[in-house]
Amino acid sequence: MPLPSESAAVAWVEQLPPGWSIVWEETGRLPDQPLLAAAAAASGRNDVQVLRNLAGKPLAADGNGCVLPYHITNSHDGGTHLALALPSTGIAGVGVDLVHLPRLRSVRHSQDHMQRLARRVMNDREFGAFTQCVGNLDLHDVQLLFAAHFSLMEAASKALGTGLRLGVGFGRPTSLHPHQLSVVREHGAWGIVPGEEARRCLANIEGCQFECFCGTSENYLASCVVISLKANP
């Protein structure tokens, strides 16, 4: 777990289904090491390895290469690595994303710049809601709002197992365009409205709905998206 000063960023873990394990540490080890630590702690096994499917999604497996009944996901930014393992019972996918907030507080991230960034990744409906909000916010809150919005897109794409496609050289051919994962906020709760392509991806993993979590601390914003598994008829 993070230091107390940063723990608010991942306070949402207490709302996840039981059996989760989270790793928060300074980046320094190999990228898969925090994933291994989270998967080993959640499963209670010491022979865990990390495999990846053709889309690059990490999978927890035993020493024989058999996939374990756990979802694993990770993110890193600002010298910190976040990894989460969650039992797969009733869950089709899970994704996390981490944002180092001081990076957004640089001089070049003015309110106009944040709106230009938002225009690039948000669809018309999202951008309209964003511009309505920013008129009543100071720059710091505008930065937080954009960070939460984009971070939840990233986490949702990881939960679907696709990742985001952000122009040439960013993402895979199977990755989703950000407009496919519309982020909404109603009555203080975040949500995801999938586009047609994202709905097909959701059906492929037998998922039915997105549950979104987001938290902030002094230096970090961390988000998590959990996709529920469609119940058998």
The CA distance from 137 to 139, in Å, is 7
Is the residue at 2 inside a domain? no
Is the residue at 1 inside a domain? no
Is the residue at 59 inside a domain? yes
Q: What is the pTM of this model?
A: 0.94
**Confidence bin at 54 (pLDDT 50/70/90):** confident
Q: Residue 103: what pLDDT?
A: 86
Instruction: Give 66's contacts (C-beta < 8 A, 6+ positions apart).
Output: none
Give the number of domains in the chain: 1
Residue 214's domain spans which residues?
7-229
Distances from the Cα of 67 to the Cαs of 12, 43, 96, 158, in angstroms?
27, 12, 20, 18
Is the residue at 110 inside a domain? yes
The enclosing H or E element of 143 equals helix 139-160
The three state secondary structure string of 40-69 is HHHHCCCCCEEEECCCCCEEEECCCCCEEE
Is the residue at 23 inside a domain? yes
Secondary structure letter of residue 176 according to DSSP: B
The CATH number of the domain holding residue 126 is 3.90.470.20
The CA distance from 160 to 199, in Å, is 10
Tens-digit pLDDT profile for residues 180-229: 999 999 888 999 999 999 999 999 999 999 999 999 999 999 999 999 99
Tens-digit pLDDT profile for residues 110-119: 788 888 889 9
Position 182: which residue type? S
Tens-digit pLDDT profile for residues 130-141: 998 887 888 889
3-state secondary structure of 184: strand
Is the residue at 76 inside a domain? yes
